[in-house]
């Protein structure tokens, strides 16, 4: 996992859960101690899972809720961080359609150890999209949160329903994403 995600996690903890002291306490509780994460360096996946699990325990909140909230926080930050790969006219659906085949490919092109999640977005009309997620990391809760965060960034009213989940035996996670139409228009 790239260090940029750890840096986003640090920002998330600081902004939504009590400041720098909470981040330092999280690192200590997770057995990591003081650490600086460099954005393009890679760190073990287990380390982010350890931090997220420890955060859930410290906050007394279920891990899926923490991961989804983190995704909601990080979605807009990812678009800003990787703005050179995102067209200004894009909104949630366009970002999702281009995440795997254009954005991930451009980011990971020169890294032989790359392991981005597989995302497949298929439009089912102007207001409906199916999103398939697959990753050995099994962080579908983060993916769901990212969709919600993107919708907030773009001022869209979007509902995300997970219809299949790897945590319940499915090979891939499937999300149905419904964008509510503007007032006066029906959904297709």
**For 34-87, how does the pLDDT look when each residue is reduced to its tens digit (9 = 90+)?**
899 988 888 898 999 999 999 999 999 999 999 999 999 999 998 888 888 888
Alpha-carbon gap, residue 141 to 34, rounded angstroms: 27
What global pTM score does this model have?
Answer: 0.86
Alpha-carbon gap, residue 174 to 120, rounded angstroms: 10
CATH of region 96-179, choose from 2.102.10.10, 3.40.50.360, 3.90.245.10, 3.90.1520.10: 3.90.1520.10
Q: For residue 102, is pLDDT > 60? A: no
Q: For residue 123, is pLDDT > 70? A: yes
- Greatest Cα-to-Cα distance within the chain, rounded to the nearest angstrom: 55
Token reading at 95: 């970002």
Using pLDDT thresholds of 50, 70 and 90, give the confidence band for residue 185: very low
Q: What percent of the chain has pLDDT over 90?
A: 62
How buried is 185 (Cβ within 10 angstroms: 0-12 exposed, 13-18 middle, 19+ buried)? exposed
Token reading at 135: 């990753």
Using pLDDT thresholds of 50, 70 and 90, give the confidence band for residue 173: very high
């Amino acid at each position: 996992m790239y260090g940029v995600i750890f840096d986003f996690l640090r920002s998330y903890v600081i902004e939504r859960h009590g400041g720098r002291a909470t981040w330092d306490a999280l690192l200590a509780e997770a057995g990591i101690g003081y650490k600086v994460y460099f954005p393009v360096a890679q760190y073990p996946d287990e380390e982010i899972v350890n931090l997220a699990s420890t955060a859930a325990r410290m906050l007394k909140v279920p891990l899926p809720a923490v991961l989804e909230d983190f995704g909601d926080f990080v979605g807009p930050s990812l678009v800003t961080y990787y703005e050179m790969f995102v067209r200004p006219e894009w909104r949630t659906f366009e970002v999702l359609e281009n995440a795997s085949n254009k954005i991930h490919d451009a980011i990971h092109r020169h890294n032989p150890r790359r392991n981005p999640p597989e995302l497949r977005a298929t439009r089912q009309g102007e207001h409906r999209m199916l999103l398939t997620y697959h990753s050995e990391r099994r962080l579908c809760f983060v993916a769901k949160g990212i969709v919600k965060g993107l919708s907030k960034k773009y001022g869209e009213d979007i509902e995300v329903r997970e219809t299949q989940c790897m945590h319940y035996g499915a090979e891939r996670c499937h999300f149905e994403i419904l964008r509510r139409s503007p007032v006066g228009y029906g959904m297709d």
